[in-house]
Chain A
Amino acid sequence: MSEYIIDVAGLKKAFKVSKRDEGFGAAVKSLWNRKYEMVYGVDGIDLQVRKGEIRGLIGPNGAGKSTTIKILSGILHPEEGRVNVMGFVPWLERQKYVKHLGVVFGQKSQLWWDLPPIDTYSLNREMYKVPTKRYKELVDYFKELLQIEDVVYKPVRQLSLGERMKCEFVCAMLHEPSLVFLDEPTIGLDIISKESIRKFIKQVNRDLRTTFILTTHDLSDLENLCENVTIINKGRVVYNDAMSQLNKYFSQKKLIDIQFHEPMGKHLLKEYTLLHSDELTATIELDLTEQDLRQFVYDLLGRLPVQDINIRNIPIEDVIKSIYSA
């Protein structure tokens, strides 16, 4: 078997979008003469994920990440491309394939709303044919790991969002899937719940060697969980490397935060690229291809009444923003 659990090449998916001009006349005309155009939601994606990885998959809204996930999980049929996930072509062998798959949606529930989670688990045990003994072991293991011993016996509608999300995770993991898609799993959660969900993902990843694909808009999820990240924009992969490399993405640029002794006039700072300034503080962006850092700081200290100085990399958030808007 290949070293990759997910192996995708040249993936394309088009959507038919109806197009009409503005106004009432155009709306009437569109009843019999409707124009369509094909829009590529996914336009040639290549992606490889190793077994046991926690891979971040991010991108702006409408970038094509959900479409990619839906193709990978067998819901959508692509127009072009080769997809191999755990030896399956997802959309051709859906019922067989999804037995090895787990999914958690932050914004959709898989639990039965009016029943306690344990009833959904028990139905899933039957659905995935999990042996009773193993099922009991796993429920106990997850209950302890997430501290939801009592929660699973209360109707879902009475649970807090944090409790419900923990129960959703158990629901997705009970059949011990090799691959789990997490779609914004920490959305709307408080810091403590987020932390305990992240701990859970790490622990399961270690204990059961489960591969996770994580889509999120929360950078702290990525920083805490993912070694590698794939960024998708306009239907294409625009970045595919280690999280740590994102820090170095703008390695030729530095940010310098300065605090002054005394109020500074703006005219004294006009030759610098200022990202922010007020009377007593300023942030300057420095392009290292144009200036030497050592020399720059030396000049700065000589010219201005500097009390404190801090040199840092461009923050990941800004790196990602710049990749998104490219």
Chain B
Amino acid sequence: MFFLKAVQTNIKLFFQYRKSFLISIAIHPFILLVNIFLYRSIFAHNGSDQIKGYTLTEMIWYTAGITFVWIFIWNFAERRISDYIITGDLSIHLLKPINIFWFELSSAAALRITGIALEFIPDLIIYSLIYPPDFLTVLSLLKFVSVCLLSFFLFFLINYLIGMTAFVFKSNSGLNEFVYICMNLLGGGLIPLDFYPAWLQRICDFLPFKYIFYYPIQIFLNKDSVSSIQEWGYIVLGQLGWIAGGYTLCYVLWKLAIRKFCAAGG
């Protein structure tokens, strides 16, 4: 099957860059150490066991959860798509009997498979040795992986849509930056959303970003509010809903945009 072959070819490609993956394995534990020092001092200063419902261990592992989610979702489809459009290289892809969406998805999937093998698994082991995660169970880990896979799709679709704006804007790096900041701030990619005032949390409810970071990390931490299978099911449904909407939007906009495409260059 072409999709699997494309994933395989991409994995071969990313293995060429294995050194950069190894560097990130070396750097990630330092980030964890910094967070351990930071949250220890914050908790010591407050003199309490919990801040907004998070224990010290949970807070430290929340930041580790952010790193893990990034390992599962990160791809640069937005840059690839906008480069194709701006440089006219999209023509080369249009001359192949492939669907560009699936082709890009195969590249992103391969990148993440490599990332999970070379970053997530070693990171999880090293982190656990530095600061044991007493909350983690096999089931919660499996649930975490399952929602992270859907986060990957959701993030890919957002990236794909940002990339496609190059049909109209030509330069979309500003928009890209804006969406990333929103995603981090309003999705729980920096600190838990529970730290925000109620009105801001309400706004986050209407955006897809909390399905990328906040909910998966809640499941990872095995928080009471999401620990039942039923709650997990609701989160998965929410993710699927956003994915379906994002995919439909991509599909329709692509059909409209491709008619207007002026293949640049000779």
Q: CB within 8 Å of B: which residues of A?
A: 15, 61, 66, 70, 73-77, 94-96, 98-99, 101, 103, 105, 107-108, 110, 112, 114-115, 119-120, 122-123, 126-128, 183
Decide: B91 and A123 in contact? CB cutoff 8 A: no
Decide: A119 and B97 in contact? CB cutoff 8 A: no
Interface residues contributed by chain B, number (CB under 8 Å): 22
The 9 closest A-B pairs by CB, nearest first: A126-B5, A99-B97, A126-B2, A123-B9, A75-B94, A114-B16, A66-B266, A95-B97, A75-B91
Decide: A127 and B13 in contact? CB cutoff 8 A: no
8 Å CB contact of A115 from B12, B92, B99? B12
Decide: A103 and B95 in contact? CB cutoff 8 A: yes
Decide: A70 and B91 in contact? CB cutoff 8 A: yes
Knowing A114-B16, A119-B12, the reply to whether A128 touches B97 (Cβ < 8 A) is: yes
Determine the residue in chain A with the shortest Cβ distance to B17: A114
What is the CA–CA distance of A307 and B50 in the complex, to the nearest angstrom?
A: 108
Chain A residues, CB < 8 A from B259 = 77
What is the CA–CA distance of A110 and B98 in the complex, to the nearest angstrom?
A: 14
Would you mind naming 18 contact pairs between A and B with Cβ atoms under 8 Å apart? A73-B91, A74-B94, A75-B263, A76-B262, A94-B94, A95-B97, A95-B99, A96-B97, A98-B96, A103-B95, A108-B89, A119-B12, A120-B9, A122-B9, A123-B5, A127-B98, A128-B97, A183-B266
A119 to B: closest C-beta gap in Å: 6
Chain A residues, CB < 8 A from B89 = 108
Q: Is there a chain A Cβ closer than 8 Å to B261's Cβ?
A: yes
Decide: A76 and B261 in contact? CB cutoff 8 A: yes
Chain B residues numbered 2-39 whose CB sits less than 8 Å from any CB in chain A: 2, 5-6, 9, 12-13, 16
Q: Is there a chain A Cβ closer than 8 Å to B1's Cβ?
A: yes
Decide: B2 and A127 in contact? CB cutoff 8 A: yes
Given contact pairs A61-B266, A75-B95, A120-B9, a sample of 9 additional A-B residue pairs in the complex whose CB atoms are under 8 Å apart: A73-B94, A73-B95, A74-B95, A95-B97, A98-B97, A108-B92, A126-B2, A128-B97, A183-B266
